[in-house]
Structure 1
């Protein structure tokens, strides 16, 4: 593992769910010469060897986190907040997908889009 790769992995661990740009910003604090291309290539490599994984939490860049996390991502399409819920919420859907479509769901790699309670309450208050 090169020093640059270790810095990228450390940034992923420190930041939790982070975009490549956020990871690059953190890495550049310790190594200003590391550019975004290096970060993208390193994230790709780290994902191929199973150390990190990416999730699409919306329309922007994917976010990266450590491989071992086990939760769903709930993304509010109004305010952009991201919360986490246990993967067992998807057990019924996973069983049905396997039975009806022969598809094995990876619920730890799922982002569900909707509207958080705060945004729903604010919309109701405006009506």
Structure 2
């Protein structure tokens, strides 16, 4: 992979610099990471503007992809991972990666009804994860039990 990567960079007019290698490795180790998280993970080995610049180059080369998992900075993940979309819990911030094929029916429906071809791989669906939903239901059940309604 390293040789293939280096030749891909060269044919695109880039070199595989040590910083670029560190940034790519950090994204792969972290799974999903904002530029700030990559910078923090590298412990200052690469300055912040270099992290941003290298993420852009790596994305241009198709080695990383980004998505917006919140209203903060874009989150990057390795392009080597199978394409997926994300479920984000508004309560605990847990991110769940879901294989793209799970959205095929929805994407087909958008195409058939609206003629719209969706890029589902960049999708983030916000809601509440199973754990938070269950604990909310348990809290509601306890509250109802503690305060029975009088008829």
Give TM-score, length-normalised by structure 1: 0.87
For 1:103 and 1:36, locate their aligned partners in 2 and report how far apart those are by CA, in whole Å. Answer: 37
Q: Relative to structure 2, which stretch is displaced further, 97-106 or 1-10?
A: 97-106
For 1:109 and 1:61, locate their aligned partners in 2 and report how far apart those are by CA, in whole Å. Answer: 14
User: Structure 2 unaligned runs (5+)?
Assistant: 1-15, 141-151
SS in 1 for 2:42: helix
Aligned residues: 124
State the structure with more CA Rg. Answer: 2
Q: What do you get for the CA RMSD once the two structures are aligned?
A: 1.6
- Greater RCO, CA 8 A, separation 6+: 1
Give TM-score, length-normalised by structure 2: 0.75
User: Structure 1 unaligned runs (5+)?
Assistant: none
In structure 1, the partner of 2:100 is: 87
Structure 1 residue ranges, 4+ long, deviating more than 3 angstroms after superposition: none
In structure 1, the partner of 2:54 is: 42
